[in-house]
Amino acid sequence: MAPLPNAELVQTSLQLYRYLLRCCKQLPEENIRQHYRHAVRQSFRVHADEEDPERIKQIIKRAIEDADWVMNK
């Protein structure tokens, strides 16, 4: 089960970024939301220069799986 509907439609890094920030809005406590928003932004910056399409797909898949884990935690 994905944290938000349409996780399977995420195909670009920008779509992933928006998707993950929307997931953060659903977290119960403000300090937890801030922590994960910061983590999403940092990860986006770290991988901003990634050009390999296969690697980008791997990153997107892993990020959605991680978001699913956080939302179900």
Q: Are 3 and 23 in contact (CB under 8 A)?
A: yes
Angle at 28 (CA atoms; ends 58, 36), nearest 5 degrees: 35
1: pLDDT confidence band, cut at 50, 70 and 90? very low
| pLDDT tens track for 18-68 | 999 999 999 999 999 999 999 999 999 999 999 999 999 999 999 999 998
Distance CA 60, CA 73 (A): 20
pTM for this model (two decimals): 0.84
Distance CA 71, CA 66 (A): 9
Question: Where along the chain do its domains lie?
Answer: 7-72
